[in-house]
Structure 1
């Protein structure tokens, strides 16, 4: 079955970081995993050491893995649930965000022992 990676870059609304992190970690990730095709979800926070100089537009990253024979069906299911009781969206989520889907081009490589 084809595998895809969905990356989402986000920020909280100013002054609502705790609310944002609680909602994203404890509610939104689980809601996303209820969408057909979504098989895993993990959040990340921007690390202190970076190769590029500031500014960094986003502080948070979520990575979702999908396995589906019909990617468009999964994308449509996500869109249908967005901001409904099945996937409530917190007001602490800043409206400017970026979400992109990727399909692997190569097998996953690991460091040599």
Structure 2
């Protein structure tokens, strides 16, 4: 049995946003419930706050589908016809062929840090289409699991991470994927800009918290793109302020604007 996630990156025609949301929460969820191994599905919308603002954000929406499967070659493709219903119904804007559907075999389920509030939803998530340097895969995984995930999950509002490898089984339409791996980080924060500012400050060693991230491993390729999305579906939304196990009083009042 393995954990799999399928990420649907897409745009919706102007004026059809409410129709797409109604389809997703209605007929689509009914169809999903009949898929073997289906665990969950959530929708996200791209945020104005981005850690690397110069990177293009070609998708307004991201849907994340989670499965637990013994035979992915049989069961993963079953999601394809369900997404085709939205495409055929005019709910996906693919005029410039931006739609992407990527499926990943996860290395593990979510790995939480001290900030995480269990049984509460994420407020947002960042997703990285990532690569490792050839010949350095072992070092890449060691750095992420032993160094980077623990330090990222100590940033205010950053609570859990998981990673995966592009699956041999993919869903049509199959289009170029720039990363062999995916990195996902769940957030629980009511101030994403603050969290991003401190993420950057810790990477540069200037965070008011005094915490400093280790140098980035040379095993991680710079051929990557980073995308931040906020959760927009479901009855439950994060309402717990800033999830943080540390002391927020050390940050200046204008930190969310000025950073460090």
TM-score, normalised via structure 1 length = 0.77
| Corresponding position of 1:75 | 76
Specify which of 100, 109, 112 is matched with residue 111 of structure 2: 109
What SS is found at the alignment partner of 2:15?
coil
Q: Does 1:9 align with 2:31?
A: no
Structure 2 contact 8–63 (Cα < 8 Å) conserved: yes
What SS is found at the alignment partner of 2:111?
coil
Q: Which runs of 5+ in 2 are unaligned?
A: 115-244, 246-260
Q: Describe how 1:9-48 pairs up with structure 2 within 5 A.
A: 9-48=9-48
Higher relative contact order (CA 8 A, sep 6+): 1
* Aligned positions, number: 109
What SS is found at the alignment partner of 1:74?
helix
Structure 1 contact 36–74 (Cα < 8 Å) conserved: yes
| In 2, Cα distance between equivalents of 1:23 and 1:69 | 29
Q: Which runs of 5+ in 1 are unaligned?
A: none
- The alpha carbon displacement at 1:50 in A equals 1.1
What SS is found at the alignment partner of 2:79?
helix
| Corresponding position of 1:53 | 53
Classify 1:7/1:35 alpha carbon distance in 2 versus 1 (closer, same or farther; 3 Å): same
Q: Does 1:64 align with 2:65?
A: yes
What SS is found at the alignment partner of 2:18?
helix
Q: Which has the larger radius of gyration?
A: 2
What SS is found at the alignment partner of 1:101?
strand
TM-score, normalised via structure 2 length = 0.37
- The alpha carbon displacement at 1:62 in A equals 0.8
Q: 16-25 or 97-106: which moved more?
A: 16-25
**1:2-35 superposed Cα distances (whole Å, 9 cap, x missing partner):** 1111111111023322222222233323323322
